[in-house]
Amino acid sequence: MTYVSGFLLAAPTANRDAYRKQAEEAWPMFKGYGALSMVEGWGDEVPDGKINSINSAVMRKEDETSLFSWIVWPDKKTSDEAEQKMMADMQGQPMPEMPFDGKRMIIGGFQTIVGDPLVKTGYMMAR
């Protein structure tokens, strides 16, 4: 059963191109670690809720856009191994400058229980 790493975050709206470029450059790395697909969704209709919302969860500022992204893995084992390999490969290297505030990013891992998250294999990006 596939495994999905999900991400919610906010990025400065002015950084859309930089975010997209960084995501496109990251895909070969994730693919090399065994990912089946990656989707980056730039917020278009993300309403504020009365009690909670994606925007409030990521503490979106007025000049930011909320994003919803996910990476599909063949299984949890592959995802866990990829995380360990990424950490080992990045050890001792400076962290690249991110086009968003990573401290407000929400991350979660999800076991697929219904449906197939692979619309098609390979890299996909919301436009």
Q: What is the pTM of this model?
A: 0.87
Residue 89 clears pLDDT 60, i.e. is over it: yes
Q: What is the pLDDT of residue 127?
A: 45
| pLDDT score for 123 | 53
Average pLDDT over residues 47-76: 96
Do the domain assignments include residue 125? no
The range of the structural domain enclosing residue 33 comes to 3-90+99-113
CATH number at residue 40: 3.30.70.100
Secondary structure (DSSP) of 58-80: TT--TTEEEEEEEEEESSHHHHH
Is 58 inside any structural domain? yes
> Does 28 fall in a domain?
yes
Which band of pLDDT confidence, cut at 50, 70 and 90, is reported for residue 122?
low
Alpha helices in the chain (DSSP H): 16-32, 54-57, 76-90
Number of independent structural domains in the chain = 1
In a domain, 71, yes or no: yes
Rounded to the nearest integer, the mean pLDDT of the chain is: 91
